[in-house]
Amino acid sequence: MESMMAEQHSLLLNSARLFPLPHGMIFSYGTAGFRADGSKLLSTVFRAGVLAALRSLRTGSTVGLMITASHNPIGDNGIKIADPDGGMMTQDWEPSAEALANAPDPQSFVELVFSFAKEEGISLGGERSAEILLGRDTRPTGEALLQAAKQGIEAIVGSVALDMGVVTTPQLHWMVRRKNMGVRTSENDYFMQLSESFRCLMNLCPKGIETNGSIDSRLIVDGANGVGGDKLEQLKKLLLGLNIQVRNSSKHGQGILNEGVGADYVQKGRVSPCCFGPKDIGLRCASFDGDADRLVYFRISEANSNSIDLVDGDKILSLFALFMKEQLQILNKSDSQGLNDVLISRVGVVQTAYANGASTDYLKKLGLEVAVTPTGVKYLHKKAAEYDIGFYFEANGHGTILFSEDFLIKLQGKSNDLAFSNAGSESHKAALRLLAVSKLINQAVGDALSGLLLVEAVLQYMGWSLQNWIELYDDLPSRQLKVKVADRSAVITTNAETQVLQPYGLQEAIDFETGKYHRGRCFVRPSGTEDIIRVYAEASSQEAADSLARSVSHHVDRFLGFKTPHHLT
C-alpha cells in the first residue's frame, strides 16, 4: 500500500511540475467554472483534470470535463466539471476546486490533493478506477488544454479519459448523464433521440388547425461561428417539416467566434447578428451562443433592418409553460367512463431577478408557482429539480425543463393505461406529448439544439407565427448599467439578490428612487468576476427605466464607487 501511495505521489508531483501556475493570477470557480485567457489556463485545466478524477472516484460514476468559454471572446477559454447527473459540479466542491487551482507550487498542490482525498474518503493509488468524458468547443486553445486535462486525469492512478471530440457543452453534459444511466452515449445517439422525439411531437400536432397568422417553415439560425451551427447542420438532415438555413457556422470559416454574432450579442444589444440584413425582414430567426447552451429568437424589424424584435429566454419559458400546462389539463380530464385517474403533479417555474416583470406576471396568471433564486444556473437547476415538472430559463436564453423520475414513471403508466383503454384520445395524445418533451429537452443543462426543436414543435402545435408568440405579453422596458467600484464584496445582498444588506442605507436609497416610477423595480448585485456592481431597472416606459437605472447607479457610485457608471445594455 505504501509503495502504491508513493507511486501516486510521484506521478502527481512530476505531472504538476509540467504546468506551473501563471504569475500573479487568481482563479475562481463560478457558475461557468474557471474562465480566463486561454493561454493562461494550462495549469488550471491540468488541476481540474485531477479534481474530476477525484470526483469520479468519490461518486463511483462517470463525470465530465468541458473546455469552453461559451459566449466569451475567442481568446478566452475555460473548463467546468459535470457531475454524474449531467448537471454542474456540486457547490460543496467549489472551494476545493479553487484551492487546488491556486496552490502556489507543485508540492503544495500535491499536499492539497492528498489532504482533500483523505477528507472525502477517497482512496488514492487503489484498485478503484475513475472515468471522465472530455469535450471541447472550436476555440484554437482547446486542443492544448484538452491534452493538459488528460494529463491531469491520468495523474490519478487508474483514471481514464475518454475524448468525445469537438461537441457542444449540452452534448457533453447529456453524454455524462446518459452514461450513468447505462444507455448509449454517442453523438449519433444524441441526434437520434432529438430527431425521433421531435418527429413524435410533430406527428401529434392537431390536423387542420386554424393558424393565427402565416406560419413559414423557414428558420434562419445564427450559429455564432461556433460548434452549435456545425452540429445543427448535421442534425437537420434527420428532420422533417423544417427548412433550416444555418449562417455563421464555424465550418464556413467566414467569421470569428462570438464576434458580432451569437445569442449574447443579439440579446444584450438587441441588434441582428452579422450575415443578417434587409433580405431577412419578417423571417423567423434564432441565435445560438458559442457552445450552444443559449438560445434566443428574433425578427428583423421592417422599420430598421439593424433593429430586431427579440424573443428572449423569458418568452421561451412562457411558451413552454403554456404548452405544458395545456397538456396536463388535457391529460387530467377524466374520460367519459371515468376510467383514468388524475395525474397529480407539482409544476413550478424558476426565475432570477433579471426576468422581466411582465413574464413573471404572465406565468402567475397561468396559475403556476413562480420561485426566484440568485443568478446562476446552479441555483436555478437545483430549485427546478424540487418539482415534478420544473422550468427554468434566464433572459439570456439558457434554460431547460426537468421531470422527476417519479413523475415520469407515473406518466408512462398512465400512457400505457390510456393506450389500452382509450388509444388515440386527446388524453392519450397529451401523455405521449409530455413523454416526447421529456426526451427532446436536455434535462442535464440548457441546450440550444433541443430547445430550438421544442420551440418549433410547440409553435406548430399552437398554429402560431412568430408574431403570435411576440404578442404573448408586452415586456416592461428595462435597462442594465454597471458601476465600477473599488471592492465589489462591499455589497452584500439577500432575498435572491433583490435586496441590499450592506452597505447600510443603499437599499433605502434604491427604494426611494424606485417609488418615483409607475411599475418601477430595481435591484443591484455585485459581479461574480470583476469589481463592478450591476444595476437592473424596470418601469412602465423606457425613459423611466433609463432614469431609474441612472439614479440608482449614482447612489451606488456615491456609496462605493470611484468612476462614472457605464451602459451594459
Binding-site sequence positions for substrate: 394-396, 525-529, 534
CA 138 and chain centroid, separation: 18
Beta-ladder partners of 532: 484
C-alpha cell at 194: 432529438
| Contact (Cβ atoms closer than 8 angstroms) between residue 315 and residue 471 | no
Amino acid at 265: Y
Active site residues per annotation:
70
Give which of 354, 388, 384, 382 is closest to 370, Cα–Cα: 384
Helix (H) or strand (E) holding 375: none
Three-state SS for 101-149 is HCCCCHHHHHHHHHHHHHHCCCCCCCCCCEEEEEEECCCCCHHHHHHHH
Long-range contacts of 341-345 (CB under 8 A, 24+ apart): 341/414, 343/410, 343/411, 343/414, 345/388, 345/389, 345/407
Give which of 177, 396, 384 is closest to 293, Cα–Cα: 396
Binding site for Mg(2+), by residue number, is: 70, 289, 291, 293
Buried b (16+ CB within 10 A) or exposed e, 382-419: bbbbebbbbbbbbbbbbbbbbbbeebbebbeebbebbe
Helix (H) or strand (E) holding 159: strand 159-166
| Alpha carbon distance 314, 45 (integer Å) | 34
End-to-end CA gap in the chain: 59
| Alpha carbon distance 186, 194 (integer Å) | 13
| Alpha carbon distance 524, 534 (integer Å) | 6
| Alpha carbon distance 22, 465 (integer Å) | 52
C-alpha cell at 250: 464555424
Beta-ladder partners of 135: 66
Residues 6+ apart with CB under 8 A from 324: 347, 389, 391, 401, 434, 437
| Contact (Cβ atoms closer than 8 angstroms) between residue 373 and residue 350 | yes
Helix (H) or strand (E) holding 525: strand 521-526
C-alpha cell at 224: 455564432
| Alpha carbon distance 427, 199 (integer Å) | 19
